[in-house]
Structures are given as structure tokens and as C-alpha cells.
Structure 1
Amino acid sequence: MPRLFSAYVIVDWSAASKPTTGADSAWIGVLKRDVRFRMAFESFNPPTRAEAEKRLNLILDDLKKRSERALVGFDFPLGFPRGFAEALKLPGDAPWRAAWDQLDKMVKDKPDNTNNRFGVASEINRRLTGGPFPFWGCPPRDTLTTLQPKKLRPHGPDDLPEFRHTDLAAKGAASIWKLYYNGSVGGQAILGMPVARRLRLARAARAWPFETEFKALTEAELAGVDIVLAEVYPSLIKGPALPGEVKDLTQVRTTAEHFARLDEANKLGALFAPAKGTAADVVLDAEREEGWILGAG
């Protein structure tokens, strides 16, 4: 059986407010065949998200010219907890896409990394609850009536869930509502989903599991598809650092190598399916709105 993918592109996103490189910045890892058809890894560390998006487009356009299908993994949530789109009264029958479209309208991310992620979260809080909930976490200077540095209260039965099903399955994944401090993913998600949206609209792409269903993927089902967008969680995959590597670079490299090994062994397709015994409502929530972390559970 042939591989599902010819290349594996892993993106470690950043919510930085100014240009930055090195640790805790944007990293792109690419594992693809070289001129001798051997798998070779290269990495990019653009100082801004604008440059990272430009680099991603160049990478994907080059792979398209070579007729090579790519798995593109983002290390931030591609969906919100179930009920988000309905609570915001977003239009359309695909809650995940409605959320992407809404963020694309709201997010302002300038070429120098200046961005309004805290303002976006504050406005969503205002529309959802009228107060500083469920999003939380910001520097004191960014405090607003509807966004506070600290978590206001626990999530109750009448609130949107704190975690998606996949966050719980991954054991240790942070809540999308946490915008700031170590381990947060909310800021990256707010700034990242519009990028994923643009990449998807610009080429023959499928966003998993929203457009592929939450099931095993086969070569036949990916006919005509150039890229599959998926959420990844590099902390699930352990691998040794090479001399001089920062943690972010190690993570994108080892994640790309992990999926390539599974693909070589004809085991990657099965990873796109839920674990045996996963409840039907969990599968439906993942497909409609929440998404899933590739390999979680």
C-alpha cells in the first residue's frame, strides 16, 4: 500500500505580540523527499506570523507542483467546545466553519505581530456572558471589563464546557479559554484558525475531522486532495532532542517523523478514526464543532 502522504508539515504557532525567533516562537517543520527520494527534514523559524503564513504557502505550493500530498498539523485547537457557535448565534449548519469565519472577521494581526487577540476574546465574552468569562488570562495592561488576568470561576452545568472531548482524551491539553501564561493555547487558536481557514480556501484541502468524517482515511478517499489539515499535540510524542535544538524545533521534527513512520507502516490512516468504544455523541461533536487531536485517546 502506498503512503497517504508524501510530506509532513508540522506548525508550532505563536501568539507573540512582536517579532521573535528561537524558543516560544513560530516553527515550521517539513519532512519530505529530497532529490534522491530520501526523507529529509528542514525547519523554518519566521519572526512573525505573517512571514510564517507566507512560508507555509510557499511550501504547500511547491509540494502541489510536485504532486505531493501533505499532512499539515497545527499545534492549536481547530475548534471550540460544543455549543460555541450556537451560543454566539453564528450562521450556517457547520459550527466549526462558522467559528473560523467569525474569527476571520474579528482578528486583526499586523505584519509586526501586533494583534487584537485579547480584544477578540473580550468581545466574545461580552456576547456570551456579558462578563469576563469563559475566556481568561491577559497581562494586567490588557485587562478589560470582559477580560481579566485570572480565571473568574469554575465552569458550571449551564456554561459552555471548559474542555473539548479531545482535550480530556489527550490528558494534559490546556483549555482553549486560557489565553495567557505557560501552556496556554487560546491566543494561538484565535490567531491561528484564520490562517488555517485561508490555507484551506486556497487549495484542494480537507480539514479533519470536519470534512473527512471522524474515521480512518484511505488513499481512495483522498483522491484529488492536496493537503489534510489536522490538529496535533506534540507533547503526546516523545523524542530525543538533537544538539542545539530548542524544544519547539524538537517537537515539530519528532512529530513529523512520528507520522511519517506510521504512514510508512500503513498505520497512519487508522489514526484518523476514533478509539474503539468512543461514544456516538463524542464522534458527532468532534465532526461538527470541536475537532480532535490526531492520535489522542
Structure 2
Amino acid sequence: MPRLFSAYVIVDWSAASKPTTGADSIWIGVLKRDIRFRMAFESFNPATRAEAETRLNAILDDLKKRGERALVGFDFPLGFPRGFAAALSLPGEQPWRATWDQLNKMVKDKADNTNNRFGVGSEINRRMTGGPFPFWGCPPKDALTTLQPKRTREHGPGDLPEYRHADLAAKGAASIWKLYYNGSVGGQAILGIPFVRRLKLTRGEEAIRAWPFETGFKTLTEADLAGVEAVVAEVYPSMLKPQGAPGEVKDLTQVRTTAEHFARLDEANKLAPLFGPPKGTAADIVLDAEREEGWILGAGGY
């Protein structure tokens, strides 16, 4: 069986409010064939999300010209816990897409990285519960009655789940409701989902497929990806416990080792099954992943 992909692009995202490079900023790692057809790695460290968007489109343009399909992994959730779209009374038959469209309407992310992620979390809290829940975490200066620096209460039986099924399968993944502090992914998802949505619209709905929403939560085949330029997936580099070279920035280590990991699996025909659920996964969990929550590539199956 041939490999599903010929290039592996891993994006370590950032919700920073000002231009920044180095540690805790955006890193894009690209593993692709060089002119001698050997796998070669290169990395980019754009200072802003706007620069990252330009760079990623240029990378995909180059791969398209070469006729090479890419796996593009982002280290933030592409979906929210089950029930999110219904709690906001979002329209449509596809909760994941309704959520993407809603975030796109709400998010303001300027070229200098100035953004309103805390305002978006606060407004969603207001619409859902009228208080500072379920989103939490912000600098004290950004605190509002509907968004507080610290968590105000635990999730109860009548609330949306604190974690997605994939977060639990990945063991150690943070809750999307946490918007600030170390290890938070909520702010990254709020700013990242509109970015991925634009990528799809810019390059064509059929050319960029979001896994598992548009591909199905199943083992992928070459036939499934006919005419597809890239598959976008959520990745969680910490699952691989990457080891860096001396002095290497942790974020760079993560994008490099994650790209190499998926390339090795693909070469051995072991990547395709990771696009399906782990053995024994209940049917309702598969449905939640496909319709709204998404999944972390490899979670529960490494």
C-alpha cells in the first residue's frame, strides 16, 4: 500500500497578543522530499498569525505544484465538547461547522496579533450560563462578570462536559474551557479554528478536508483522498514525549519529532488506521467525534 501523504506539516500554534518569536510562539515544521527524494525537514517561526497564514499557504502552494498531498497537523482542538453548538442554539445539521462559522463571526484577530479571545469566551459564557462559566482564565485586567481569572466552579451533571472524549483518551490533554495560563488550549482554539476555516475557503472546500468531520472517523484509503490537497488534523505532540537536540527550542523539537513520527508510521502503512477510532470505541463516541468534538490523531492508539 502506498503512503497516504508525501509531506507532513505540523503547526505549533500561539494565541499571543503581540508579535513574538522563539519559545512559546508559532512554529511550522515541514517534512518533505528534497530534490534527491530524501525526506528533509525545514522550520519557520513567523512572528504573527497573519504571517503564519501567508507562510502556510505558500507551503501548500509549493506542495500542490509538486502534486504532493500533505498531512497538516495543528496542536489545538478543532471542535468543542458535545452539546456546545446546541447550547448556543447554532443552526444547521453539522454542529462542528456551525461552531466554526460562529467563531469566525465573533473573533477579531489583527495583523499585529491583537485579538479578542477573552471577549469571545466572555460572550459565549454570557449566552450559555449568564456567568463566568464554562470558559475561565484571563489576566486580571481582562476580567469581566462573565469571565474570571480563576475557575469559579466544577462541571456538574447539567453542564457541558469539561473534556472531549479525545482529551480523556490522550491522557493529560487540557480542557478547552481554560483560556489562559500554561498548557491552555482554549484561546488557541478560539483563534485557530477561524484560521483553519479560512484555509479551507481559500484553497477550496474539497481540496482541504478536516478530519474526522469531513473524512469520517475511520481508516483512510487512497480512494478517500482522491483530489485532496491536504488533510487537516488535530495533533498533540506531548503524547510523543519528544526529545530535543541540545539548545533546541521545545516548540521546534515538537513540530520536528511529530512530523517525523507520522512520516515513519505512513511509510510502514500504520498511519491510515489512526484516522479511525481506537479498538472498542463505543458508537456514540464515534458519532460525537465526527459531528462536533473532533479527535486527536493517534489518541488511544499509539
Q: Which interval holds the TM-score relative to the shorter structure?
A: over 0.9
Which of 261, 274, 299 does residue 271 from structure 1 map onto?
Answer: 274
Q: Is the 8 A contact 1:31 1:42 kept in 2?
A: yes
**How big is the shift at 1:52?**
0.6
Are 1:284 and 2:287 matched, yes or no?
yes
1:28-81 CA distance string (max 9 Å, x none):
000001111110000000001110111011101111111100000000000000
Gaps of 5+ in 2: none
Give the match's secondary structure for 1:29: strand
TM normalised by structure 1 equals 0.99
Query: Match for residue 166 of structure 2?
Result: 166
Q: Deviations over 1:81-108 (max 9, x none)?
A: 0000011011110000111111111100
- Percent identity over the alignment? 85
Q: Which amino acid aligns with 1:55?
A: R
Displacement of 1:244 in angstroms is 2.6
Displacement after TM superposition at 1:201 (Å): 1.9
Number of residues paired by the alignment? 297
Query: How far has the Cα of 1:192 moved from its partner?
Result: 0.2
In 1, distance between residues paired with 2:115 and 2:41?
Answer: 31
Aligned-partner SS, 2:50? helix
CA drift of 1:166 comes to: 0.4
Offset of residue 243 of structure 1: 3.0
* Pairing 1:233–2:232 present: no
5+ unaligned residues in a row in structure 1: which ranges?
A: none
Matched, 1:262 2:255: no
Kindly provide the amino acid, as one letter, of the partner of residue 40 in structure 1.
A
Kindly report the root-mean-square deviation, in angstroms, between the aligned alpha carbons of the 2 structures: 0.7
Deviation at 1:200, TM superposition (A): 1.5
SS at match of 2:40: strand
Q: Find the counterpart in structure 2 of residue 80 from structure 1.
A: 80
Corresponding position of 1:120? 120
Q: For each residue in 1:121-179, what CA deviation from the matched residue of structure 2 results, as whole angstroms up to 9, or x when unmatched? A: 00000000001000000000000110000001000011010000000000000000000
**1:238 shift after superposition:** 2.6
For 2:24, the equivalent position in structure 1 comes to: 24
Instruction: Supply the distance in 2 between the matched residues of 1:238 and 1:158 (Cα, whole angstroms).
Output: 36
* Inter-partner Cα distance in structure 1 for 2:106 and 2:15: 16
CA contact (8 A) 1:125 1:146 kept: yes
1:18 touches 1:48 (CA, 8 Å); kept in 2? yes
| TM-score, normalised relative to structure 2 | 0.97
Tell me, in whole angstroms, the C-alpha distance in 2 between the residues paired with 1:272 and 1:38.
26
Task: Give the match's secondary structure for 1:202.
Answer: helix
- Aligned equivalents of 1:268 and 1:200: distance in 2? 23
Partner-residue secondary structure (3-state), 2:231:
strand
Does 2:137 correspond to 1:137? yes
2:103 — aligned with what?
A: 103
- 2:248 aligned partner: 245
Matches of 2:93 and 2:280, distance apart in 1: 27
Question: What's the offset of the Cα at 1:12?
Answer: 0.4
